[in-house]
């Protein structure tokens, strides 16, 4: 879907500072941040580097697991962790 409509809005300096601060924490552009809000999602802050290091180590460790049940449980836990940290929250219908 191409972006075809340009929107100009006026913000107070305080609101602009909030927008800049929140987009910096998520590493999204201001446009993408606002689009996510319009679509009903609250973007989450970009995870710290430690999160990616731990995820990488756990992924490597999963390759050494030989028990299929333990392996599935580990992958499920990794998936749950990843979703909890990265998936935006859905805003309830207004």
- pLDDT per residue over 11-20, tens digit each? 999 999 999 9
- Token pair for residue 19? 């927008």
Q: Report the first-to-last Cα separation within the chain, whole angstroms.
A: 25
Comparing 17 with 94, which gets the higher pLDDT?
17
The whole-number average pLDDT for the span 16-40 is 96
- Of 28, 36, 39, 14, which is closest to residue 93 (Cα–Cα)? 39
- Of 15, 16, 17, 22, which is closest to residue 37 (Cα–Cα)? 22
- Of 43, 20, 21, which is closest to residue 89 (Cα–Cα)? 43
The whole-number average pLDDT for the span 13-39 is 96
Phi, psi of 46 (to 5 degrees): -65, 135
pLDDT in tens, 42-84: 999 999 998 888 888 887 887 788 888 888 888 888 888 888 8
pLDDT at 94: 61
pLDDT at 13: 97
Q: Is the pLDDT of residue 93 over 80?
A: no
Residues 14, 86: Cα–Cα separation, whole Å: 27
């Amino acid at each position: 879907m191409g972006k075809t409509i340009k929107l100009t809005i006026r913000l107070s300096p305080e609101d602009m500072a909030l927008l800049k601060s929140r987009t910096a924490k998520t590493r999204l552009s201001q446009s993408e941040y606002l689009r996510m809000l319009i679509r009903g999602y609250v973007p989450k802050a970009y995870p710290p580097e430690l999160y990616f290091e731990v995820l990488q180590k756990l992924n490597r460790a999963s390759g050494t697991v030989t028990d299929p049940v333990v392996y599935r449980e580990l992958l499920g836990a990794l998936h749950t962790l990843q979703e909890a940290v990265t998936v935006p929250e859905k805003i309830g219908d207004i």
